[in-house]
Amino acid sequence: MRWQHLFRNKSAWIVALSAGGIVAYLLPRAIQPFSAVERDLLLMAVMLIGGIPMLIDIAQDLLRGELGADALAMISIITSFLLKEYLAGAILVLMLSGGALLETYAVQRASSVLNALLKRMPQIAHRKTGSQLADIQVDDIRTDDLLMLLPHEIAPVDAVVVEGHSYMDESYLTGEPFTMSKAPGSQIFSGAINGETPLTIRALRIPKDSRYAKIMEVMRAAEEKRPRLRRLADKLGGIYTPVALAFAGIAWAV
């Protein structure tokens, strides 16, 4: 399903088009279905169909004052077309679109993991008052509340066991594929999965201060830092690109 979503991205289609054109161009002569002229026309089509949408995106970035390494790639594609180096241009199109596709895949994967972690957290907890149980929203849990954790439920907060004995799966938190024994006095962490026996627990922290919530905060922060790192790369590209063009101009003049 993830790849189906990716192929709705234009970069995926450009990758497929450019890769197919390059492979067809490089086929051995014995099985080559195209003449030399037709192969050049094939790569020209790859550069135009695949390159023009990317060049438009890069040009829009330049108009916004975002000078990055992609600008150098744009100049290289245009130059290879003018010099009739169609294979080099098609390879550049493949490299740019492939990089964009991999970035899209990485972002979607990180987002899907974050969403999966968010969805697995319970929304309802069972507050225990004497012998009575009352369902409450997890956000309404307060420190020292007594809660009933039923079999196979996920602990909504960091807590300590008051009554009962069970085994809990903490692999989501620790990465270790072992169940941990829990008895009165044992500490449990939010996000851990209870075993077969109900437990009475006392909340040590409110949900937003519990371990699972902190893990989620770190993951959100990591995802939010990605655009800042991207801007740093673009700033470096903004320095590198004029320098590279200057050296190219000097070499051309000499």
One-character DSSP codes across 149-206: E-TTPBP-S-EEEEE--EEEE-HHHH----EEEE-TT-EE-TTPEE-SS-EEEEESS-
pLDDT at 181: 93
Instruction: Pick 126 or 214 by higher pLDDT.
Output: 126
pLDDT at 69: 66
d(CA 254, CA 203): 76
As a whole number, mean pLDDT of residues 81-106 equals 83
- Percent of the chain at pLDDT above 90? 22
Instruction: Pick 6 or 128 by higher pLDDT.
Output: 128
Tell me, rounded to whole angstroms, the distance of Cα 227 from its chain centroid. 12
Work out the mean pLDDT of the chain and round it to a whole number. 80
Minimum mean pLDDT among 86-90, 185-189, 202-206, 241-245: which range?
241-245
Mode of pairing for the β-strands spanning 166-169 and 146-149 = unpaired
d(CA 148, CA 132): 10
Q: Are 160 and 202 in contact (CB under 8 A)?
A: yes
d(CA 143, CA 184): 18
Q: Which residues contact 15 (CB under 8 A, 6 or more apart)?
A: 94, 97, 98, 101
Q: pLDDT of 3-47, one tens digit each?
A: 344 445 677 888 888 888 888 888 876 677 777 788 888 888 888
As a whole number, mean pLDDT of residues 85-96 equals 86
d(CA 74, CA 94): 13
pLDDT at 176: 74
Minimum mean pLDDT among 84-93, 157-166, 191-200: which range?
84-93
pTM over 0.85: no
pLDDT at 1: 40
